[in-house]
Structure formats: C-alpha cells, structure tokens
C-alpha cells in the first residue's frame, strides 16, 4: 500500500463551528457512563487533552501482570482511533450521500470514533500506575479526501483488530483482562457488521467463527505500516513489545482471485526487510480461517502457494510463511502475516495489501 505523507496535514483540520459542548468536556468522562463515547457527533475529539499524550508512571514498583499487554493494545488503539478521528475531521454527511450511501453514514462514523476514543480511555485505565501509558504517534492512512479508500480501510482495520484480539487473549493473565478483550472484540465486530450492511450491502454474517490468529503481536507489528517513522513520543515503549520485526507480506493482485482454491504469489513489500529462504529447508504457507488452520507447500523460488479450496469465502483468510507445518511456535513464522479480505468480495478500490 502506498501511503502519501500529505494526509497528515488534514489531521490538523478541526472545524471550529462544531466545537465540543463544554470547554473541558472529556475531563471526567467515563466509558460506560459518558455519551462522549457513544453518540457525540462533533468533529473535535471527545478525548480531553490530558488523555491524548504519554502518561508517565506515577508509582515506582513492578508493573502489574497485564500492563505490557495493554500498552501494546493502547498503541494499536491510537492507530484505530486516529483513523476514525481523521475521517470525522475530513468528511461530512454529504460526502457519503454522494456515494449513494444512507444519510446516517457520517453519523455512524462519528459514533465509531466515539467508541474507539472510549477504548483509548479503557486501555489507559487498565494500565497500572506502575507503567507508562503510551501516547499517539502521527499516522498516514493514505486516504486523502477519498471516502472510498476510507471505507475500504475501515473494513480492513476492523477485521484486523478482531483477529489480533483473538490472539491477545492468550497473553492475558488476569481474568478481568480476558473478559475486557472479548468485550472489545464484540464491539469491533459490530463496527464491521454495520459497514457490511449499510456500506457494502452484503451479508453481515461470516460463518460460525471469525478467524483466530495465534500470534497477536505479529498482526500488531503489521499496523506499523500506518505509523510515520520517527513520529512516536520518545517515551513510548517499542510497539509491539516484544517485536519480531518479520518481513511484511503483500500479494500480487494479478496472480490470484484471492479466493479459496486460487494460486497466490506473495510479495515481500519492504525491500529492506526480506526473508532469506534456505535451500535445504521446506517452507509452508499456513492459512487461517475461522478456527481452521491449513498448511500448503510454499515455493520459495517464485513465492507462490495455493489458498486452500476448503475454506468458505467469508470474513478474512490470514496467511503466514513458516518453516514448520501449522506454524506451531511464534518463531516458526518467517514472514507475514497477511490479512486477505473475503467479505465484501470485491472492494471497488485498491485492496489493502494488494500490489
């Protein structure tokens, strides 16, 4: 995906006519209590300024057991929240009506933004006073003024977050954290279902289970593609932590339908971070769909494999290249993961990760 740096300018675009109702509105706003995280429709962020930056630890002592998990999740959430906040500031009701979409589309997008701002606050509160709460970086989503690119990315970002939450649950130590992660995944799912119905006009259902990917930090790492290099607050921990920094994958769009049964040619999109395949080693493309995992031989000469014919064409298929069938450990993954959207089937726009 090519990201243009000009987009960042629009982050500063805050229309003064749509200011928040009060001068310091988010100050004591509590997720689950405040309408700011439900149906506040303003262009300005619902977050009080004190929550839009790094919050240092206020106590000395050992971090609590899920602090690292929520630091990772908060850094991911800053990306998702900022994506919606940029859209709310850039677009208007008329922009979506022009596409023939319901006149409620923009309002829904502001509500998604409100929910994501609530997630920021929830994750900040889940990090104990013994640990720093990471602040936002600057991001480039490459959407410019394009409502169409925004809507395509919206599906992609929601299904990605649904997928990494299935893996993050495995890292949680405290029961409350595990339940909170499921509760957040349910909300991201609602966001996805809304766009499947109202925007894409396809079935909202995705078969009996959404896709599990076991190594959440690998998906989080792929979201670094949206982060402007060097833009994160200096105090922020490495994101994600720990970070494997695996070669990122895309796929050649003209090599595949992207559907089950189709051949696919993977492309390693960062020239400075390429996999090195050993001649004596066998490699596998491991495909994840629902709770199913299917490994297919991967040809490291032309980087091709075949998407398993057995899968249904709902939701997403995730692919990773591994040096063992079914990628039994995090370290067995040598490139990826790549998230392939199956639903909606054809985005009218450039599909994220297709080159």
Ligand X SMILES: *[C@@H]1O[C@H](CO)[C@@H](O)[C@H](O)[C@H]1NC(C)=O
Binding site for ligand X (CB under 6 A): 6, 103, 144-145, 252, 254, 268, 274-275, 302-303, 355
What are the CB-based long-range contacts (under 8 Å, 24+) for 29-35? 29/121, 30/121, 31/118, 31/119, 31/121, 31/122, 32/118
Euclidean distance between CA atoms 156 and 229, whole angstroms: 22
H or E segment to which residue 82 belongs: helix 67-90
CB of 103 to ligand X, least distance (A): 4
CB of 22 to ligand X, least distance (A): 24
- Please, which residue, 23 or 276, has the CB nearer to ligand X? 276
- Please, which residue, 65 or 281, has the CB nearer to ligand X? 281
- Please, which residue, 274 or 329, has the CB nearer to ligand X? 274
Q: Between 175-194 and 105-126, two packed helices, what is the crossing angle to 10 degrees? A: 170
Question: What is the distance between the terminal CA atoms of the chain, rounded to a whole angstrom?
Answer: 7
Residue 143 φ then ψ, to 5°: -95, -15
CB of 264 to ligand X, least distance (A): 12
CB of 230 to ligand X, least distance (A): 22
Residue 162 φ then ψ, to 5°: -60, -40
Residue 107 φ then ψ, to 5°: -60, -40
Euclidean distance between CA atoms 6 and 230, whole angstroms: 16
CB of 229 to ligand X, least distance (A): 21
CB of 27 to ligand X, least distance (A): 29
- Please, which residue, 130 or 268, has the CB nearer to ligand X? 268
- Please, which residue, 109 or 120, has the CB nearer to ligand X? 109
- Please, which residue, 237 or 275, has the CB nearer to ligand X? 275
Query: How would you classify the pairing of strands 292-297 and 304-306?
Result: unpaired
């Amino acid at each position: 995906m090519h990201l243009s740096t000009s987009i960042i300018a629009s982050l500063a675009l805050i229309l003064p006519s749509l200011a928040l109702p009060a001068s310091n509105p988010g100050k004591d706003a509590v997720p689950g209590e405040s309408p700011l995280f439900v149906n506040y429709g303003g262009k300005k962020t619902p977050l009080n300024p004190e929550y839009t930056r790094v919050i240092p630890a206020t106590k000395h002592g050992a971090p609590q057991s899920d602090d690292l998990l929520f630091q990772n999740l908060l850094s991911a959430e800053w990306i998702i929240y900022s994506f919606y906040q940029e859209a709310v500031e850039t677009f208007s009701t008329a922009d979506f009506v022009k596409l023939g979409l319901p006149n409620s589309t923009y309002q829904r997008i502001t509500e998604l933004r409100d929910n994501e701002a609530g997630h920021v606050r929830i994750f900040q509160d889940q990090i104990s006073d013994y640990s720093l709460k990471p602040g936002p970086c600057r991001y480039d989503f490459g959407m410019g003024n394009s409502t169409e690119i925004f809507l395509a990315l919206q599906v992609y970002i929601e299904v990605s977050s649904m997928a990494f939450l299935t893996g993050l649950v495995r890292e949680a130590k405290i029961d409350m954290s595990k339940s909170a992660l499921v509760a957040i995944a349910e909300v991201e799912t609602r966001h996805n279902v809304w766009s499947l119905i109202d925007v894409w006009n396809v079935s909202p259902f995705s078969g009996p289970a959404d896709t599990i990917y076991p190594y959440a930090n690998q998906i989080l790492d792929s979201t670094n593609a949206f982060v402007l290099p060097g833009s994160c607050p200096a105090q922020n921990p490495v994101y994600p932590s720990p970070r494997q920094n695996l070669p990122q994958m895309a796929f050649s769009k003209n090599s595949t339908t992207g559907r089950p049964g189709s051949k696919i040619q993977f492309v390693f999109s960062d020239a400075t971070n390429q996999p090195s395949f050993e001649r004596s080693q066998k490699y596998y493309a491991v495909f994840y769909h629902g709770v199913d995992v299917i490994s297919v031989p991967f040809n490291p000469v032309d980087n091709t494999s075949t998407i398993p014919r057995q899968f249904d064409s709902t939701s997403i298929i995730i692919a990773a290249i591994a040096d063992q069938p079914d990628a039994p450990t995090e370290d067995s993954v040598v490139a990826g993961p790549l998230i392939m959207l199956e639903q909606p089937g054809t985005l009218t726009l450039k599909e994220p990760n297709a080159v």
